[in-house]
Amino acid sequence: ATLRRATYTLCYDDDALGLPKRIEFEADSPATALEIAGGEADGRQARLFVDGEPLCQLVKASAADAPYWIVAREAKARL
């Protein structure tokens, strides 16, 4: 059986240049989506959606070169 890849969307209110940013991609799981999000800048809050439905809010933080995710349940309205 083939697994269906979901469409994930990362929405940033600020792309570190003062503009909103939206990244859309397909992934097998939320864990894979977080790996993709890992390439984004530290310290910026984002909302993560799966197939247009809110999944969570997150922010990438670092402590002594060990990045980690702070994840909150609320992700605001549907896309």
What's the pLDDT band for 51 if we cut at 50, 70, 90? very high
pLDDT tens digits, 55-68: 888 887 777 777 77
What's the pLDDT band for 1 if we cut at 50, 70, 90? low
pLDDT of 37 > 80? The answer is no
Nearest partner of 61 among 47, 76, 41, judged by Cα: 41
Task: Please give the average per-residue pLDDT across 28-33, as a whole number.
Answer: 84
3-state secondary structure of 36: helix
Going by the DSSP 8-state scheme, the letter that residue 1 receives in this structure is -
CB count within 10 Å of CB 43 equals 10
User: How confident is the model at residue 76, as a pLDDT?
Assistant: 65
Global pTM exceeds 0.85? no
Q: What are the angstrom distances between the C-alpha of 5 and each of 54, 69, 70?
A: 17, 23, 24
